Structure 1
């Protein structure tokens, strides 16, 4: 009879049974795709900084009215006593900057710049978010339908995208906004102007989202989970809205964060041209329009709203770049 094989202490420690015996009580915790994306996003400090600025800007826009009420700010109040009657510029060398007016006051009119920046924030973000939502809804539906069905449906929707992309949007927006200044659809004043801007910007910008969704859908429709849904008897609408759209959330979120600053710039451009938000309602583009005539009196009147637009657009772009990298499954 063969003698049993002796095993040294170091060899015994290397046996699989001995190694695994201490692991029985421990469980391996899996990580969802959302958690993995969040970990990646937190590593990008620049994107996190952009996200913090975006959150602060949104809170400022949402709470603009309560802030004005709590601190007694009136964006349309005139402070003629602080204006030099001869030079029509703020008295003093600092452009009227004081504890009561931290950013100074307007030349000629004497309105507080800080309160007008706060008031203009909700106008710009309301138009940008509203137009982005409208363009996303149209672009998502038409893009996923074109990519999934293909054939003449894809051809028709793709040519429709080409027509909208070739349309002179700026000229059409100027014409529409100028023709509806008085009133239309039962709306007047600020609600009308905001609704018109949201419609014009959102309705004619949907092809950008539509093209991205169409390209993603062309790739996803060949995946195994779509074939599995078909084999179980799922029809086209079910596959579109239950199988494909949930997998398109990442590109939709990323492109939305990049489309919002574009819409902010477009609204500011229309207001700068005088066909957007009408004064005396404060808007960042309208403040730049007024600053052109008053630039010699006080250059800071142009710098302050310009910096507000610059910081907002930069923050959204940094956030969008970070989300794109975090949600990309090819990144490790």
Structure 2
């Protein structure tokens, strides 16, 4: 009963009722391909989007296997190397085995420490970055799931039923969009004790961040789902389901929802980098993850006092956030173009 999403199909030649094999090969055989196959072919041709996808995959894998990578390198994100640091400036010292002395201008970069050392503490910067990716991606993906679930449910209900239901949900969206989420997140994370809701420490912090970011950002995806539902509810397959006596729940979950998967998936990939920046902003302000657990925002905040003596400590965390957000945005834009029915192969 579910209507397939619209896909561009090859049209037969006007001079003949039969499309030849040569013509079908020339147009890519679009008539014999599913929407997913067509989208993958378009996405594969987009080199920029493919580059973003590769960076995203590498980032996710490095976060998942961070303990393994740390073990292979023989270092820990919590291990101090104060003997390698200058006690006055906090900068990394040159290796005396190399016949040099004084502050290392490269920040302690070596085969043992691929990105150098943190000023003053001497902790390995590379392992702290990949462990920080765990926090950033966990919060970003968790908050995105919360956004998608709430936004999809309320957006589809508003678009399908309309009337006063649509009015109430739409006004709720306006209120949430006008809510000062950053100020609320700062106040809430600062007021929450170390133990609450059966959680404690950074486990509680992560849960609070996921809730705050996800619960107050659902209207963005809710509006998209509502608009798509308004269009789909007038389609023939919905009218056919009504004529057969299908309930509203059946139509919403069996007829409309499968046709909303693609726009939801595309927008979710564009929402993840926004959530990464939000988590980094809270950690930068000191109300995110508690130290010494690595966090990109906290590392960037700590680096500001050493930007004259250890500029690598400022550049590397900031560049990591920049590349991550850019990769997710390029990946999301590529998915959006690939699934756009108005696109051409």
TM-score by length of 1: 0.90
Per the alignment, residue 25 of structure 1 pairs with none
Bigger-Rg structure (1/2): 1
Cα-to-partner distance string for 1:258-301 (whole Å, 9 max, x where unaligned):
00000000000000000001110001001011011222221110
Per the alignment, residue 75 of structure 2 pairs with 73
Cα-to-partner distance string for 1:110-166 (whole Å, 9 max, x where unaligned):
111001001101110000000000110000000000000000000000011111111
Matches for 1:35-46 after TM superposition, within 5 Å: 35-46=37-48
Per the alignment, residue 181 of structure 2 pairs with 169
Matches for 1:84-95 after TM superposition, within 5 Å: 84-91=86-93, 92-95=104-107
Give the direction of change, closer, same or farther, for the CA distance of 1:106–1:181 in structure 2 (3 Å limit).
farther
The number of equivalent residue pairs is 308
Separation in structure 1 between the aligned mates of residue 245 and residue 35 of structure 2, nearest angstrom: 28
Cα-to-partner distance string for 1:180-210 (whole Å, 9 max, x where unaligned):
1422112111111110100000011000010
Which runs of 5 or more structure 1 residues have no equivalent in the other structure? 1-15, 21-27
Moved over 3 A (4+): none
Q: Is the 8 A contact 1:181 1:193 kept in 2?
A: no
**Secondary structure, in 3 states, of the residue corresponding to 2:56?**
helix
Matches for 1:249-268 after TM superposition, within 5 Å: 249-268=261-280
Per the alignment, residue 334 of structure 2 pairs with 322
Per the alignment, residue 109 of structure 1 pairs with 121
Which runs of 5 or more structure 2 residues have no equivalent in the other structure? 1-15, 21-28, 94-103
Per the alignment, residue 34 of structure 1 pairs with 36
Per the alignment, residue 154 of structure 1 pairs with 166
What is the aligned counterpart of 1:272 among 261, 277, 284?
Answer: 284
What is the aligned counterpart of 1:309 among 308, 316, 321?
Answer: 321
Give the direction of change, closer, same or farther, for the CA distance of 1:269–1:203 in structure 2 (3 Å limit).
same
Per the alignment, residue 3 of structure 2 pairs with none
Computed over aligned residues only, the root mean square deviation of the Cα atoms, in angstroms, reads 1.5
